[in-house]
Structure 1
Amino acid sequence: MKLVISEYLRTLKERDELDRLLPDLLLEMGYVPVARPQTGNRQYGVDIAARGKNAETGSDELLLLVVKQGDIGRSEWDSGNQSVRQSINEIFDVSSKSNLEPQDKERSIRIVVATGGDMKQTVQENWKGFVNNNQAKACIEFWGADVIATLIEKYLLDEHVFLDEDRRDLRRALALSGDSEYDRQDLHRLFLRALDLNDNGELLDKPKTGKALLKALRIVNLSAQTFAHWTLRDDGDTRQGLVAVEHALLWSWHRIQFADEKNKKDALDGPFSAMWWGYYRFAKQYFARIQPYCFVENSLTRFASNGVESSLVTFEQIGILASIALYLALHPAPTEEEKISWLSNAGVVIDTLEALLKNNGVSSSPCLDRHSQDITLALFALFGMGRLEIAKEWLRKLFRNVDYAYKAKKYVPIATDSLDDLIEEGGWLGGQATDRMMEMSWTLATIAGWSVILGMDDLYEVLAKNAKDAYPNVCIQLWHPEKDLYQYLYFQPAHFDSGATEAPIHLPPTAEEYRKQMNMIIESEFGKVFFDLHATKAGLVALDFIAHRHFSTPVSPVIWYSLVDKSTT
């Protein structure tokens, strides 16, 4: 396990990654952090400061951490204002003199250079000489990836949390991380055990509280991040890593909702915050890998053997890119400057989504009815980022292809999730789709609603006419969540256990009439559900969108219905 943790640590950056992990480690070691890392403030060499007793000497000490990224070589040791030597000298000149609080003046000072890498041989003699020359001023140590991994295993992942069966499950998961068909069941078992949840997402007897709960959340996060890191290897499947990180994030949020207010606050401020940033970190890496393929025609599906595979791959990526864009665009930002930065990053993802839609013709031919979730997320993201013309152009193509599919009974977005049904009865590989595959449709309702939102009344009215005349036996429907949605949304597909189905939907002949129906839904009890969700109240709206896509739960219509009459603003 030390090797696994050490490998993970080597991927962490200094800012917002390694320095978010170290304060938790120090707390478990018995230290009380007095200064946490802050962006923009001058720190005079100190990234993290903490008070506590030295476990070896028993003396009270002030622990000052200098956090760096990667290996320490000659340039990192003594080259510029951000070098290790310069940082320690600043501590001697400023932090250990004028910045000390009265209660710390009698404490011994220990300076630790902490990094997720190693110290290179080229600088080891310089380091030894520097430490010896300054031992009268402070005890100076180096914590590389292997030392930090040992401390993490000892203090954060003790035997009460990281059981032998957890280790076995994680090792099996790592071994299978490169298999695109792997269902991550070993990782899920580990998560459930750590979070005290049964297979239905219900809390077990005598669940963990306090520090034990925080440790359990950390082990879930570390396991997911380690698995995700493994998928970045040449033989790995990065999609598996992203899905694992999402799963850990969603199940952890689900578990935290069972805690009392104090435990909930501690969990959100500590381990869950690390998970939230962990998702950002890995989504960024995933995006960097997928982005180039979106700008080359049909590059995403170049290895697909048929139209079914092409459609499955393309719509999965549409949903993933949309949820990443929404995470960035809706990320809480305390200042206007940070808000602009997050929106700028979201714009880069939207540019990539736009390129994917233009360069892949199959992006207008969904093969599963549940792809309506991916369509809604993408249209919501395009709408929110002001790409209305792109959204309209894509919706026209979607309607053209889906309308043809139902008329010709070929290439239909089938009403089940079975790939066997898709191949045998969907009309995608020859022949026509069976009536069973066409008996219901979320996709048609999705196109109808978005055509009204985007002011495409002519498209809506053609759809309404064809639904009545050309494919009258298709039951157009939508799913509306009810008040118990939060019990299921973050753990499993929610529409099997919660909510109500609006079916059949008889589309009125004019867009104005349907617009009135949509507004009635917004004003009904269904309209209150989304805004009562805990994640929404906590300002983490993007978590709900991730949950909808991850578990293939239909996106609540009231969310996108709320955009009616806003296309001009």
Structure 2
Amino acid sequence: MKLIIKEYLASLKERNELDALLPTLLSQMGLTILSEPSIGNRQFGVDISAVGSINNEPEAIYLFSIKAGNLGRQDWNSGNAQDLRPSLDEILDVYIPTHLPSEYKDLPIIICLTFGGDLKQEIEINLSQYTQAKETDQIKFAVWNGDRISGYLEKYLINEQLFLQDDLKSLLRKSLAMVDQPEISFQHFSRLIQKLFQDLQSQSIKNQLTTLRQSYLALGILNSWCLSENNIESSYLSAERLILHSWQVVKSFASKNTADARKIKNIFKSLTLLYLSISDSYYQRFLPHFSSLHAISNAVHGNCDVDINLRLFDVIGRISLFGIWVDWAFDRMYRNSADQNIIEDASRTHGEISEALKKLIMNNPLLFHPYKDDQAIDIGLTAFYWLKNNENDGDLEGWLSGITRTIPGAFTHNKRYPSNIHDYLELVLHPIDDSQEYRESVTKGSILYPLLGFFAEVFKNSEMHLDIKKITTEFIPKCTLQIWHPDADTETHLYSNSDTHGLGITGISNETRETPFNQIKENCSLDKYILELSAVKCDHFPIILTACRHYRLPIPYHFYFQLLGVDIYKDETKDQETEHEV
């Protein structure tokens, strides 16, 4: 385990990775963090400062100067502003005389030379001579290399409490060993999460902090291994699952401002950033290929068209969800600083991701032909993301109307029409015959056609409506058209998928173009359970959409109405498009 952790540490960058992990470790070791890394302010050589006792030694001030990877001659004093020796000089000449809190000025001071890798032999003499010359009765130096940090991590984060259990260690090892088989790797990591978070809400805050820190570290290690194998599928799915389970704990502290609440929220912030980093890696891997015809389809290397179709809708759902999270993050940043540059960055990023999605659709025509009815979830995520900017309206309408034109042909020619089939082999063989009995058996219900009918009215597109009406009356007249709402049990079960929850509303009709929109609006106006969800109350609504994608739940229409400026609870249309979701 220590070797695994050391390899992980050596792979970390200094900024936002190693310097983000260390405060979590130091807090778990019992130290009090005095300052953390910041951008824009001079730090005079100190990335992190803390006070406390390690291994029952006398209380001391610990000043950490952090470098990434191995420490060699080129990192010591080569003229680079980020070299270690100039940083140490600044600590001695400026930081210690001017920045130490007055109540700690008489404590021993330990300057920690911190790096995730090894100390190269070529620099050992230089470092030894420097520290001997600079040490005093009060000021000492310590080397925190990969070995030392990994030892502390193993002692305080990995082996403490829950991770003392061999079955938990085994699950992490199995997940790492199988990253080249993502489904199996994810299964092991999911079981690890389930065991870690079992009954955690009823445990002490100390146990909750420990579990959140351990799970964050475990995900970081898994992601490092996935990146090294050039296959991040397991870390992506594991990050989604961990975000959702962690919220079960974090939600109780989201509105509090106690010391423990701040610690828990900071860990969740780090976890969210790691999830976004993994999502960005996923997005960046596809980005260069979006402009090429059939490039993503060919890259799937599927055995048949079903493999390609399933992957394409999965990709568009993930990237749309990533865009939703990024928009949310920019929005929170702007509310905290009101910096106009943030608005410009947000607009540019939204435009870039939107353009990537458009290229993905146009260059992979199978995205006009959903094979599974629940691909409405991925379509719905993309629709939600594009609705944030009315410049996308034409593209969204074009895509959805293209889907409604494709499906009637699939029914007419009995070729891969959307079904409720979940079994892969059955989906490959679908349709097995052209009988009405078979068709009815695989199209018993639909969340796809209400979604398309809803947007037919949003865009006032009568041709879309007629296509949908033809599908539902001529080809599948016995199909139950339905939508999904949260209910009283959703808050308890949504984030962990621990039991069934939610309410299926049936009877959606396509009698006129306006009918599905008005029926959905009326039903949503009667449901206020969504307003009681903690992720809505605490302004973390992307967590709900993440749960919908991860656990394959339909997107609640309340989100669409909010972006459309329709106040379903007052039955009136707002004059201005709303900026914040639900």
For normalisation by structure 1, the TM-score amounts to 0.90
Determine the C-alpha separation between the residues in 1 that align with 2:191 and 2:517. Answer: 46
Q: Which moved more, 1:92-101 or 1:321-330?
A: 92-101
User: Which structure has the highest helix share of the two?
Assistant: 2
Alignment-derived partner of residue 150 in structure 1:
151
CA contact (8 A) 2:487 2:502 kept: yes
Q: C-alpha offsets along residues 46-75 of structure 1, whole Å, 9 cap, x if unaligned? A: 11111123537x333211111222333334
Q: Select 2:244's aligned residue among 230, 247, 250.
A: 250
Q: C-alpha offsets along residues 127-186 of structure 1, whole Å, 9 cap, x if unaligned? A: 222222212373122222222111111122334221221111111111112114426332
TM-superposed CA distance for 1:521, in Å, is 2.9
Determine the C-alpha separation between the residues in 1 that align with 2:482 and 2:288. Answer: 37
Alignment-derived partner of residue 415 in structure 1:
420
CA contact (8 A) 1:161 1:219 kept: no
Q: Which moved more, 1:225-234 or 1:166-175?
A: 225-234
Give the 3 Å change call, closer, same or farther, for CA 563–408 of structure 1 in structure 2: farther
Q: Which moved more, 1:148-157 or 1:317-326?
A: 148-157
Alignment-derived partner of residue 176 in structure 1:
178
Alignment-derived partner of residue 465 in structure 2:
460
Alignment-derived partner of residue 509 in structure 1:
512
Alignment-derived partner of residue 200 in structure 1:
none
TM-superposed CA distance for 1:552, in Å, is 0.7
For normalisation by structure 2, the TM-score amounts to 0.88
Q: Percent identity?
A: 24
TM-superposed CA distance for 1:367, in Å, is 1.2
Q: Please state whether the residue corresponding to 1:490 is helix, strand or coil.
A: coil
Q: Select 2:311's aligned residue among 310, 313, 323.
A: 313
TM-superposed CA distance for 1:308, in Å, is 0.8
Q: Please state whether the residue corresponding to 1:72 is helix, strand or coil.
A: coil
Q: Which moved more, 1:132-141 or 1:321-330?
A: 132-141
CA contact (8 A) 1:410 1:433 kept: no
Give the 3 Å change call, closer, same or farther, for CA 358–432 of structure 1 in structure 2: farther
Q: C-alpha offsets along residues 88-145 of structure 1, whole Å, 9 cap, x if unaligned? A: 1111111111222222221121111222233334433322222222123731222222
1:216-365 paired onto structure 2 within 5 Å: 216-234=211-229, 237-257=231-251, 265=261, 268-302=264-298, 303-331=301-329, 332-333=332-333, 334-335=336-337, 336=339, 337-338=341-342, 340-365=344-369
CA contact (8 A) 2:68 2:115 kept: yes
TM-superposed CA distance for 1:409, in Å, is 3.1
Query: Which residue identity lines up with residue 59 of structure 1 in the other structure?
Result: P
Q: Please state whether the residue corresponding to 2:417 is helix, strand or coil.
A: coil
Determine the C-alpha separation between the residues in 1 that align with 2:451 and 2:259. Answer: 40
Q: C-alpha offsets along residues 202-221 of structure 1, whole Å, 9 cap, x if unaligned? A: x79xx531212211122222
Alignment-derived partner of residue 187 in structure 2:
185
Alignment-derived partner of residue 100 in structure 2:
100
Aligned length: 555
Give the 3 Å change call, closer, same or farther, for CA 114–349 of structure 1 in structure 2: farther
Query: Which residue identity lines up with residue 307 of structure 1 in the other structure?
Result: D
CA contact (8 A) 2:44 2:90 kept: yes
CA contact (8 A) 1:209 1:263 kept: no
Determine the C-alpha separation between the residues in 2 that align with 1:493 and 1:159. Answer: 27
Determine the C-alpha separation between the residues in 2 that align with 1:62 and 1:428. Answer: 76
Query: Which residue identity lines up with residue 464 of structure 2 in the other structure?
Result: L
Q: C-alpha offsets along residues 490-549 of structure 1, whole Å, 9 cap, x if unaligned? A: 11287xx222222232212233x444333323422x2x2333211122221211111110
The reply on whether 1:27 has 2:27 as its aligned counterpart is yes
Q: C-alpha offsets along residues 394-450 of structure 1, whole Å, 9 cap, x if unaligned? A: 112111112322343321121132223212333699999633112322111111112
1:334-483 paired onto structure 2 within 5 Å: 334-335=336-337, 336=339, 337-338=341-342, 340-385=344-389, 386-426=391-431, 434-483=439-488
Structure 2: unaligned runs, 5 residues or longer = 567-574, 578-582
TM-superposed CA distance for 1:382, in Å, is 1.7
Alignment-derived partner of residue 570 in structure 2:
none
Determine the C-alpha separation between the residues in 2 that align with 1:407 and 1:90. Answer: 76
TM-superposed CA distance for 1:237, in Å, is 3.0
Q: C-alpha offsets along residues 269-290 of structure 1, whole Å, 9 cap, x if unaligned? A: 2432221121022222222222
Q: Please state whether the residue corresponding to 1:387 is helix, strand or coil.
A: helix
Query: Which residue identity lines up with residue 283 of structure 1 in the other structure?
Result: S
Determine the C-alpha separation between the residues in 1 that align with 2:433 and 2:170. Answer: 42
Give the 3 Å change call, closer, same or farther, for CA 476–361 of structure 1 in structure 2: same
Give the 3 Å change call, closer, same or farther, for CA 559–535 of structure 1 in structure 2: same
CA contact (8 A) 1:479 1:499 kept: yes
Query: Which residue identity lines up with residue 274 of structure 1 in the other structure?
Result: S
Alignment-derived partner of residue 69 in structure 1:
68
Q: Which moved more, 1:39-48 or 1:348-357?
A: 348-357
CA contact (8 A) 2:368 2:402 kept: yes
Query: Which residue identity lines up with residue 435 of structure 1 in the other structure?
Result: E
Structure 1: unaligned runs, 5 residues or longer = 198-202
CA contact (8 A) 2:491 2:534 kept: yes
Give the 3 Å change call, closer, same or farther, for CA 347–70 of structure 1 in structure 2: farther
Q: Please state whether the residue corresponding to 1:81 is helix, strand or coil.
A: coil
Root-mean-square deviation (Å) = 2.9
Q: Which moved more, 1:387-396 or 1:362-371?
A: 387-396
Determine the C-alpha separation between the residues in 2 that align with 1:120 and 1:387. Answer: 54
Alignment-derived partner of residue 127 in structure 2:
127
Determine the C-alpha separation between the residues in 2 that align with 1:123 and 1:154. Answer: 29
